[in-house]
Every structure is written in C-alpha cells, then in structure tokens.
C-alpha cells in the first residue's frame, strides 16, 4: 500500500455520492463551501445505478405493455413482441446517461470527486483507500451520506432488490415475499411483462380503500396473492417457499425468489465508534433536526439515519444540512413524505389515513371521487379514485390517497396542499384545466360536502366520524 506523504486539508467532506451525497455537495458548493465528495463506487449511488432508476425503467416498460389493449381501441393494429434483453440494454443506457449528468454537475459546481473507501482516523481526519493508494484528509466538517443496501443471500436464486433489477433475461416464474412498495411494483411490473408472479403478503400498510382496490387489481392482473406465514425457504435449483395459514400448508416454487427485506445502513465500516459517534442498535446514526451527530462537526443524512429509506427524504435532508453548514437559516421541519408506488396504475398516499386521523382525535370527513367519472381518465381508459380526509371542524385537509394514472404527477400537488395547511376551500376555489385529472382532485374535495358535480348524490354521502 502506498500511503500519501501529507495529510491534505479540506473544507467540507461528503461521504457517499448517491442522491443525499451529491445533492448536499452541489447545494453546499452553491452556497460557498469548498466541497470534496468521496464515493467508493459510482456517482449516483445504489439509487441511480441499481435501485430507483432501474426499477422505474422496468415499471415504465410494463406500463407501456399494459396500454396495448387501449391502443387497439384507438384504431392501432399491431402484434408486438417484447425482448427483455433489449429492455436491459435500454436500462443500462439510461443509467449511464443519468450518471454522466451527475458527474458533469459535480464538475460544473467545482466539486472535487475522490474515489475510494473512506474510514475515520480521528474526529477531524479521514482515510481513503483505493487499491494500493491510501490518502488522508483533515476536514472542517463532514457529512455522512453513505446510504444503505439490501441483504444479499448466498443462493443465486434468492434475489435482493438490486439483483432483481440487474436481470438480463425475463424469468418465467417469480415468487415475491414482501408488502412494501418495492414488492408491489415488482409484482405488477414483471407480471405485465410476461412473468408468472406469486406474491406472498398479508397487508400493505395503506389506507383500507387503497388496500381493497390493490387486491382487486392483483386478481385482475392474474397475480397470485398468497396470505399466511412463511415457515421455510429452500433454494436448491428452484426456490420453494412454504406458507402456513390456519394450519394449512402450501408450497410455491419458481426459478427465482425476491424477498423485500429492511435495508441495512452503510455505517459499520466507517470507524464511527472509534471516534465516539453514537450508533443506534440498527446501525443508524442519531442526529438532531439539522443532521448533526453527537460530534459537533460530523453530520449524517439519508438512509444512515432513522426514517424511511427513500430518495425524497435523502434529497430534502441534503439541502437542509448543506444550507445549515453554509450558515443559512435552514428549516428543520420534517415535511410530508408521500408514499409513491409505481404500480399499475400508480398509487400515492400522503398524510393521515382515516384510522390515524381518528386516533389523533380528529372528527373527520371523507370524500372519494371515482376517476371513471373524470373525462381525462376515461379518454385514456383509466380507473381508480382520489380519496380525501379532512377535519370536520376546521376543514383542514389531513390526508390524500389516490390510485390511478397521474397519481405520481399529482403527488406534488397533494404535498403542497398539506405543507401549506390547505383547507377545503383552498382546493375548491382554483380553476383547473379541462379535461384533466386535476379536476378529479377538486371534485374529491367537493365530495366532502356532497357537492361533486360528476358524482350522483348516493356516491357522495357526507360521512363524518369522530
């Protein structure tokens, strides 16, 4: 190993080049800090290279495939076939283009990018190893944004989330164990592309109205939904999963099993305990509202801290912490993080469910607008609904839950409504384009009062609960 002769002086060092890391680096540079970004693999992190982007490429292809029936109704005649290997090439090309974009942005913002594996030598020094080279850096501040990873199994037939979306051939059959957004997306995407999918899950943690519609869609899309307790997994060639429900045992086999398990933060190899940084039992790093650890110049953001392991949280925390480190008056308020599921059709859930709202002491109203009463949705042969929960006393919007095409795009509108503490009248007043799904959002709120224009009275009974 070749050790650098001198310890190099740096201002702000950021560990990890994923959404949290490169966002913090760019924002801090914009605000005048001299930034060194250290990444052990590829800029963009697991999210861009093996997670968020690859999975959404597959979901996009599945969505296009599902639209084929509607295309024939519009007068198009063709008999398309699907080449999964070509989709895999498109996936890799998209990843390369986005990664190149991140690299260019770092260069344009005068961010020094160092490749290698980092570990703390002291609370103001870090070592970086790359092959036989080992360099040391002394910093004024450091931000830990090393992200997380899925648990990797010994068997090549048992896949984690990253491995599932690195497949170059479409599996004939796939068993999925999981109830989170990753499991739902994978089940619907692979089934749409031609895989026979079995999904083992009891509940999905969504508002009951979404759960009911989701189960209907699984049946319609011919996804085998199995409930019960997994008692055994055997991986010998094919994978066999044993499930027990009410004393009855069933087995489900496939060439591959994808099990969506909790992610593991990348913290244990950083040497944090050596310098006195507190670690929780699950490996996450406790921080204050600005991301500061128990050591004054050491910060942590994204998946290495407690909270949902999602890119939106990582990006938000990156901007907040970078602004704080630049001496700005950063807002420590935790925002509403919407649950986004790229299912077929997509789902968004933000704010309180009915149960959570009543448990919190609200007297609530609920309104639900079916998208088959919306012109834009009918033109595209879509379905679904928007459900709104409000406080019956204050009229404050408490929660919004949608399943249907356009949900991902409307998620930002829903987030803004909750962040701005919108009341019913704030949503009802603005004019929306026609025809558009924005009108369905307005009518969902109008249905809280039984005043939706495109729903008959019997479908918008005003329901108040305490």
| Residues carrying an active site annotation | 434
Cα separation, 306 vs 275, whole angstroms: 20
Both structure tokens of 465:
């609960």
Both structure tokens of 52:
């968020």
Both structure tokens of 72:
């024939």
Per the CB < 8 A criterion, the answer to whether 447 and 455 are in contact is: yes
Q: Cα Rg for the chain, rounded, in angstroms?
A: 24
Both structure tokens of 362:
């609200």
Both structure tokens of 449:
């009062």
128: closest CA among 412, 120, 460, 383?
A: 120
What is the DSSP-derived secondary structure letter of residue 150? P
State the angle between helix axes of 181-193 and 52-66 in degrees (0 to 180), rounded to the nearest 10.
40
Per the CB < 8 A criterion, the answer to whether 38 and 329 are in contact is: no
Half-sphere exposure of 353 (CA within 13 A, CB side): 12
* Sign of the four-CA dihedral 453, 455, 461, 466: negative
* Sign of the four-CA dihedral 456, 430, 465, 355: positive
Both structure tokens of 427:
């949503």
CB atoms under 10 Å from CB of 454, counted, come to 17
- Go through the chain and tell me how many residues it has: 466
Helix/strand/coil percentages in the chain, nearest 5: 35, 25, 40
Per the CB < 8 A criterion, the answer to whether 361 and 372 are in contact is: no
Per the CB < 8 A criterion, the answer to whether 192 and 60 are in contact is: no
Three-class secondary structure of residue 270 per DSSP: coil
Cis previous bond, 435, omega within 30: yes
């Amino acid at each position: 190993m070749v050790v650098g002769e001198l310890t190099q002086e740096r201002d702000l060092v950021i560990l990890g080049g994923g959404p949290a890391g490169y966002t913090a680096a760019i924002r801090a540079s914009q605000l005048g800090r001299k930034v060194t970004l250290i990444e052990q693999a590829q800029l963009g992190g697991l999210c861009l290279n093996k997670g968020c982007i690859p999975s959404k490429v597959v979901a996009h292809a599945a969505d296009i495939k599902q639209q084929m029936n509607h295309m024939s109704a519009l007068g198009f005649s063709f008999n398309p076939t699907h080449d999964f290997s070509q989709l895999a090439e498109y996936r890799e090309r998209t990843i390369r283009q986005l990664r190149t974009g991140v690299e260019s942005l770092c260069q344009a913002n005068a961010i020094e990018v160092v490749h290698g594996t980092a570990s703390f030598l002291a609370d103001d020094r870090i070592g970086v190893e790359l092959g036989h080279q080992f360099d040391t850096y002394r910093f004024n501040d450091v931000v830990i944004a090393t992200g997380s990873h899925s648990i990797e199994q010994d068997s090549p037939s048992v896949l984690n989330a990253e491995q599932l979306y690195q497949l170059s051939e479409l599996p004939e059959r796939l068993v999925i164990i999981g109830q989170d957004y990753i499991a739902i997306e994978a089940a619907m995407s692979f089934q749409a592309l031609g895989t026979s999918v079995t999904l083992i899950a009891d509940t999905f943690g969504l508002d009951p109205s979404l759960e009911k519609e989701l189960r209907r869609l699984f049946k319609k899309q011919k996804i085998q939904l199995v409930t019960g307790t997994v008692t055994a997994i055997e991986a010998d060639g094919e994978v066999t999963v044993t499930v027990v429900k009410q004393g009855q045992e069933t087995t489900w086999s496939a060439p591959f099993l994808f099990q969506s398990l909790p992610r593991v933060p990348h913290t244990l190899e950083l040497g944090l305990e050596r310098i006195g940084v507190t670690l929780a039992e699950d490996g996450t790093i406790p921080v204050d509202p600005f991301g500061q650890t128990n050591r004054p110049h050491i910060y942590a953001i994204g998946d290495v801290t407690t909270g949902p392991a999602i890119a939106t949280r990582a990006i938000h925390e990156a901007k907040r912490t970078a602004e704080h480190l630049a001496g700005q008056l950063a807002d420590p308020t935790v925002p509403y993080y919407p649950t986004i599921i790229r299912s077929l059709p997509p789902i968004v859930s933000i704010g309180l469910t009915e149960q959570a709202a009543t448990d919190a002491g609200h007297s609530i109203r609920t309104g639900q607008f079916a998208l088959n009463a919306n012109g834009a949705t009918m033109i595209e042969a879509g379905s679904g609904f928007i459900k709104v929960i409000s406080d019956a006393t204050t009229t404050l919007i408490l929660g919004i839950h949608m399943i249907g095409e356009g949900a991902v795009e409307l998620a930002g509108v829903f987030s803004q409504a909750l962040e701005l503490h919108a009341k019913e009248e704030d949503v009802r007043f603005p004019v929306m384009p026609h025809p558009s799904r924005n009108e369905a959002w307005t009518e969902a709120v109008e249905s809280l009062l039984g005043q939706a224009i495109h729903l008959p009275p019997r479908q918008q009974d005003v329901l108040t609960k305490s």
